[in-house]
């Protein structure tokens, strides 16, 4: 099998790998679609829904593990005093206005948070 690839450049090999991965993903999606259609048809014929088999997927009401109350909004910890945009300081990514300030000043997120210039006056 090594001889088969010996004359291919690195770029050609990487392209081959990429195309093979795309084909595997396409085949998996096709299998999922066939299974989904088969399961939906069997459920329809039996007069059942997915929630009858798997109650945790029931679409009509809250699941047992679903929160009963909506989460309370977080108070803003940081504020752009010009535009009025605010941020609680939580979440995986800061909002665009924070990223813009960091880029303009060459700050890290820690430096932004340490600055008292953008603290909200709650």
- Interval 19-28: pLDDT, tens: 999 999 999 9
Residue at 121 is within a domain: no
Dist. CA 112–CA 9, nearest whole Å: 46
Q: What percent of the chain has pLDDT over 90?
A: 48
Query: Within this chain, do residues 13 and 49 fall inside the same structural domain, yes or no?
Result: yes
Dist. CA 62–CA 68, nearest whole Å: 8
Residue at 73 is within a domain: no
For residue 49, give its domain range. 2-57
Query: Within this chain, do residues 12 and 46 fall inside the same structural domain, yes or no?
Result: yes
Q: What percent of the chain has pLDDT over 70?
A: 84
The domain total for the chain is 2
Residue-wise pLDDT for 39-76, tens only, equals 988 988 888 888 888 877 665 555 555 556 666 777 88
Q: What is the pTM of this model?
A: 0.42
Residue at 83 is within a domain: yes
Q: Check pLDDT > 60 for residue 86.
A: yes
Q: Check pLDDT > 70 for residue 29.
A: yes
Residue at 69 is within a domain: no
Dist. CA 37–CA 16, nearest whole Å: 32
Residue at 64 is within a domain: no
């Amino acid at each position: 099998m090594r001889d088969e690839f010996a004359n291919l450049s690195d770029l050609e090999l990487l392209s081959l790998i990429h195309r093979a991965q795309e084909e595997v993903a396409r085949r998996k999606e096709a299998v999922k679609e066939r299974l989904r259609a088969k399961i939906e048809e069997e459920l329809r014929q039996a007069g059942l829904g997915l929630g009858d088999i798997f109650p945790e997927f029931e679409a009509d009401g809250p699941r047992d593990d679903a929160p009963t109350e909506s989460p309370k909004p977080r108070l803003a910890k940081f504020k752009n005093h010009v535009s009025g945009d605010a941020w609680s300081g939580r979440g995986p990514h800061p909002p665009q206005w924070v990223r813009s300030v960091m880029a303009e000043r060459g700050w890290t997120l820690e430096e932004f948070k340490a600055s008292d210039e953008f603290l909200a006056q709650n």
